Structure 1
Amino acid sequence: MTKVTIRDIQGDSLYSPFSGETVTVAGVVTGVLRRGFYIQTPNKEWDRLGSDAVFVYSPGWRPEVGVMVEAEGECLNYIKHETAKPVTQLRLIEADVVRVNPADYQVDPIEITAQLIPNDNARLARLLNALEGMLVTIASGQTFIAPSNAHGDYVLALDSSGVDRSAVRTEDGGVIVENSNPLRWFPGFRVSNYNHAQRLNLGAKLRSRITGPLHFRADAYQMSVDQPFTIDPYFVELSKTALFSDDASVTIMTLNCFNLDPHVESEHRVSNPRQDIDDDWGEGRFHTLAQAVGLQALCPDIIALQEIQDSDGAELTTVVDATVTYQKLIEAIETLTEVRYAWLDIPPESGADGGQPGGNIRNAFLYRADRVTPDLGSLRLLGTNDPCYTDSRKPLVVCFTHTASSQKLEVINVHFASKRHQSSIFAPENPGVDAKSEIRIAQAMVVANELEKIRLSNVEYYVTGDFNDTQQSDTLATLTDSGSVNLVMSLPENQRYDYNHRGKLQVLMHGLVSHRLAEQDRAQYEILHGNELIGINPGEETDKPSDHAYVIAKLTLA
């Protein structure tokens, strides 16, 4: 056993020089988490090169905040997964609590300010690694740039000294993702005690100081806070479309349904009972989606759906048919609006298209038979034999005829590969690398090749769905460089967003049309904001119908 300081075991790099050794350290308890606690060396000035705090892994015993602890344990570099940043921890063997006068052992928190945070991600990673576990504080007056989630997570823009204009800001105070730094880190905090957590929307203001140790989890840094905080709330009004179809035009809504299914799964038939059981009907998600269709989008002619699951949800069965899912959604819309929709899909092979195990996720269409007629012979999937679509949702294509004008419109509904496997900017190797980027580009090329065929037939087209990439990405460039126009670019810059990822608003849903349609001003586009701005109650299941905003286009065909 070696007696050392916390600074000794933290070292000056990502990896502790004492990894694998049994050591004894002393420090003041600054925060208590579910699986352990933080201690920090008191009465010491931070040298900005390394941390004076460490996490003690101790699920079975946790002391009170403020006491002095001498802890013996195994020092380790904890790595959660193969691309994760190592976190220096102490696996507790035994500990003694030393009762002391708190006034004699001060731990002064480091103030997190805009001036402290470097613009360069590599410098930022070094700074935050040197702050890891240390007590930090953020003053009041900041803006919440992400809505509250089920885990009690919050993200802030440092606006207390004036609005941070280093990025484009929305009217609500949100931050538009930067093309030059799409993974930019913003400070935030998690409140583990849900009695202290609050439901809030993007745009709310922090009105009390928060303090806690800087914790590394889920590939990012955030403060661990176990104290109440106060806010000025911000109210978000759901958007309503100004686009109406007529005898010369069609309206098309894009709706990510967030793994929608009508079934309450059995715990004995799912891959992960903790994650794979839900009750979308009982929780009202079918009804809130119906409200989106009827009250926000005003019953468009065509609805492109993503993330539709089969009729028994995530159960691991041979069922791939989603008839009941569609029937429930169509009935909910009809009850609210008296408008009856019909549906189209091509079920995937069981387990072949990725997504939640057992769910057999797919793209689909709802359509109003009084407004448009699908050519069922044209209904097809793209990429069924292409390697880039292995274990991925295939684009669904169909040609609709607009009843009033007799004009045809080919609609392609996509859901490209996820960004979930993208490395964090804090990863020790290849920070920020997106492992699926090349796959999405290849998927887009399959769509681009299909559009080339459609253009030869002189039929107008509309490509929509969840592209899982922004308008500046190589994925979208693959489509726009080959002859299409992205209608997202017709919107003001501070309105180009439908999704919020850790405080960064971005566009993942797009609408692409021909140059002819765009240049003749026959294409209009809106994003119906709401889901990406509105918070939920921490500690509860989400009651939001989708994690995306909805988009709607009006295309004049005649």
Structure 2
Amino acid sequence: MPSKKSARLAALTVAAVCSAASTVVLTAPAHADSVRIHDIQGSTRISPYAGKQVTDVAGIVTGVRTYGSSRGFWIQDPDADADPATSEGVFVFTSSVPKVAVGDSVLVSGTVAEYVPGGASSGNQSLTEITRPTVTVVSSGNAVPAATVVDEDSVPDEYTAAGDAAANGSINGLTLQPAKYALDHYESLEGMNVRVADARVVTATDDFNELWVTVKPWEHRNRRGGTVYGSYDSQNTGRLQIQSLGKAADFPAANVGDTLAGPTTGPLDYTQFGGYTLVASELGTLKSGDLKRETTQKQGRGELAVATYNVENLDPSDGTFAAHAAAIVNNLQSPDIVSLEEIQDNNGATNDGTVAADRTMQKLIDAIVAAGGPTYDWRSIDPVNNADGGQPGGNIRQVFLFNPERVSFTDRAGGDAATAAGVTKVNGKAALTVSPGRVDPADEAWANSRKPLVGEFVFRGKTVFVIANHFASKGGDQSLHAQYQPPVRSSETQRHLQATSVNAFVKDILAVQKNADVVTLGDINDFEFSGTAERLEDGGALWSAIKSLPRSERYSYVYQGNAQTLDQILISPSIRKSCDFEYDSVHINSEFNDQISDHDPQVLRFRP
């Protein structure tokens, strides 16, 4: 899948240029000359004054944002009404650096608008704002309204109500029930000064100086301090994104399992890439959880170790080769076969028609040798230029890396970007018509996506078929915090087709040889409980071996506070029935702020 970083940079560029286009002004029958903040916020997600002028809205400035494309400040009414559904805070969008300070008592006149971060097509909720403001400072140095505590006692366990079927599943028009639903609780505090205390980090600090904490310490906690996402029906309600109103250099470099000790306080915002976000004027002190990178067990002499590792757009210009090599040699214990995803061509994202990746691979192989590992060999198939998605010009593909001292590759000529591998019978056993080859590359399932790479290996005289995959990304899906509930997962349509295609190919192998050892692995870009996984497993042809782990250990990727499974290794019945296999999700990247990839590698050890 495209990296979070590249997708985020692109989106921020659009936001900076087109922020006005993302502002949705909704008409309403109300009109006001002078109203209170809680009147503007109302008891639903959409202001009853949207699109209307308001005059002399009173409040105390609780935070000022002087940077980015959303400059402005928050105000809060210190005299709350009796309705817990109506927020007492609101953001005032100035576009330029505001001329107010925290503690100022102000009167604001302007137009009420509903701004949708990411644009209306994103499906995100909207943020109620006062735009084109005229601001009068009445007095300065006033006490800021006390922060509302957000903790495990205040946030409900139920995530959200189902959307209104008459409104295409939107929750925008539903009356907020902050004591019943977590999303409603956060919405009822939108724009207000809030506080979390001693909050554990559940997503490491990213390149944009953001991290995620949980206010529910025991909610689906794993032994490394993360919060596991294990079902569409069981959302983690305690997750909250943290940004800072301070200098970027002062933002803590946190890992999963660390703690922001003491109070973290500031206005509650709503953002494109995180939903409800505490923008801190006061940050807790980082307390290390002393998280260590994991090392898997070395395979025994009679065990075959097969791994999958997404190396995130690796090309010869990257400075991560030594780190990736050290991870393969030390943390993964030099697996016999490694499916590498996101290997780019020899000049990376330069879009000049280059598709070969021999320089990329040789640089990685040399780095592995320098790290004390074996001299690996490799096999792959160059894609058609710009036909497989990913960064334009990068031509990402899967590559088989294998240790020729432990395993041999069966080369069968004829495989290329357009030729589909088939299954035949040789001496009573299954064999590929081409090796390496591609699985059904002309099928619509693989349009603008990475085609599966299949190869035939021999270990201690026994054949093992390996299918390396990188399914379509989740780009375009509505977020968990979207206004549409349940959110639409539009991207899974293509993954379902891809899973069906791979499953059919595995069934072709098993139809020829019922007890064939088949390993299907890679960046599946979907969960072990997903419809994609169900289609891969259809008919018992495969089984996702990460399900052999305790539920709290089933993750390879951490996103928006959720530790989740995207990378999988699926095995054929002969491997599963032997019960002689071990699975390890090796956590070396996803939980760390200095990650060299956003994915954790997976390792399967078994005796063919």
TM-score, normalisation: structure 1: 0.88
Q: Which amino acid aligns with 1:191?
A: S
* 1:172 maps to 2:203: no
For the residue of structure 2 that corresponds to 1:314, the secondary structure is coil
Find the partner of 1:407 among 462, 482, 487: 462
Find the partner of 2:142 among 95, 102, 106: 102
- Which deviations, in whole Å up to 9, do the C-alpha atoms of 1:417-464 show, x marking residues without a partner? 222322124323344221122321221111110001111332311011
Q: CA deviation at 1:388?
A: 2.1
* 1:553 maps to 2:604: yes
- Which deviations, in whole Å up to 9, do the C-alpha atoms of 1:332-358 show, x marking residues without a partner? 111111521122221222222112222
Partner of 1:68: 105
Structure 1 residues 151-162: aligned runs within 5 Å:
151-159=208-216
Cα distance in 2 for partners of 1:550, 1:338 equals 17
Contact 1:46 1:52 in 2 (8 A): no
Cα distance in 2 for partners of 1:151, 1:96 equals 33
Q: Which amino acid aligns with 2:138?
A: V
Partner of 2:379: 344
Partner of 1:209: 263
* 1:187 maps to 2:240: yes
Structure 1 residues 212-361: aligned runs within 5 Å:
212-218=266-272, 219-246=274-301, 248-263=302-317, 280-281=318-319, 285-337=320-372, 339-361=374-396
Partner of 1:134: 192
Cα distance in 2 for partners of 1:333, 1:182 equals 41
Contact 2:265 2:283 in 1 (8 A): no
Cα distance in 2 for partners of 1:211, 1:535 equals 22
- Which deviations, in whole Å up to 9, do the C-alpha atoms of 1:307-342 show, x marking residues without a partner? 111122122221122222112111111111152112
Partner of 1:507: 565
Q: Which amino acid aligns with 1:551?
A: Q
Cα distance in 1 for partners of 2:382, 2:45 equals 47
Q: Which amino acid aligns with 1:16?
A: S
Partner of 1:40: 76
Contact 2:297 2:333 in 1 (8 A): no
Contact 1:286 1:545 in 2 (8 A): no
Find the partner of 1:150 among 200, 203, 207: 207
Cα distance in 2 for partners of 1:383, 1:175 equals 38
- Which deviations, in whole Å up to 9, do the C-alpha atoms of 1:92-127 show, x marking residues without a partner? 343222224515xx5122111212212222233332
Cα distance in 2 for partners of 1:548, 1:51 equals 38
For the residue of structure 2 that corresponds to 1:195, the secondary structure is helix
Distance 1:466 1:216, change over 3 A: same
Cα distance in 2 for partners of 1:239, 1:101 equals 51
Cα distance in 2 for partners of 1:179, 1:472 equals 7
For the residue of structure 2 that corresponds to 1:201, the secondary structure is coil
Q: Which stretch of the first structure deviates more once superposed, 432-441 or 177-186? A: 177-186
* 1:389 maps to 2:456: no
Cα distance in 1 for partners of 2:601, 2:141 equals 57
* 1:21 maps to 2:69: no
* 1:474 maps to 2:511: no
Structure 1 residues 524-539: aligned runs within 5 Å:
524-536=582-594
Cα distance in 2 for partners of 1:300, 1:129 equals 48
Distance 1:101 1:507, change over 3 A: closer
Distance 1:39 1:363, change over 3 A: same
Find the partner of 1:433 among 479, 488, 494: 488
- Which deviations, in whole Å up to 9, do the C-alpha atoms of 1:10-29 show, x marking residues without a partner? 22222223233332322111
Q: Which amino acid aligns with 2:575?
A: L
Find the partner of 2:149 among 107, 111, 127: 111
Cα distance in 2 for partners of 1:56, 1:347 equals 52
Partner of 1:267: none
Partner of 1:380: 437
Distance 1:338 1:209, change over 3 A: closer
Contact 1:498 1:509 in 2 (8 A): yes
Q: Which amino acid aligns with 1:450?
A: F
Cα distance in 1 for partners of 2:233, 2:193 equals 27
Q: CA deviation at 1:245?
A: 4.7
For the residue of structure 1 that corresponds to 2:555, the secondary structure is coil
Cα distance in 1 for partners of 2:577, 2:258 equals 40
Q: CA deviation at 1:181?
A: 3.3
Q: Which stretch of the first structure deviates more once superposed, 291-300 or 52-61? A: 52-61
Q: Which amino acid aligns with 1:327?
A: Q
Q: CA deviation at 1:43?
A: 2.7
Partner of 1:270: none
Q: CA deviation at 1:180?
A: 4.6
Distance 1:421 1:413, change over 3 A: same
For the residue of structure 2 that corresponds to 1:131, the secondary structure is coil
Cα distance in 2 for partners of 1:451, 1:77 equals 50
Matched-pair identity in %? 30
Gaps of 5+ in 2: 1-31, 162-180, 413-434
Contact 1:245 1:301 in 2 (8 A): no
For the residue of structure 1 that corresponds to 2:361, the secondary structure is helix
Cα distance in 2 for partners of 1:457, 1:524 equals 27
Cα distance in 1 for partners of 2:84, 2:385 equals 54
Structure 1 residues 487-526: aligned runs within 5 Å:
487-526=545-584
Q: CA deviation at 1:41?
A: 1.4
For the residue of structure 2 that corresponds to 1:251, the secondary structure is strand
Partner of 2:63: 31
Cα distance in 1 for partners of 2:335, 2:314 equals 20
How big is the alpha-carbon RMSD for the aligned residues of Structure 1 and Structure 2? 2.0
Number of equivalent positions: 520
Partner of 1:125: 183
Partner of 2:12: none
Cα distance in 2 for partners of 1:101, 1:374 equals 74
For the residue of structure 1 that corresponds to 2:326, the secondary structure is helix
Cα distance in 1 for partners of 2:259, 2:537 equals 39
Cα distance in 1 for partners of 2:258, 2:385 equals 44
Cα distance in 2 for partners of 1:370, 1:213 equals 59
TM-score, normalisation: structure 2: 0.81
Q: CA deviation at 1:7?
A: 2.1
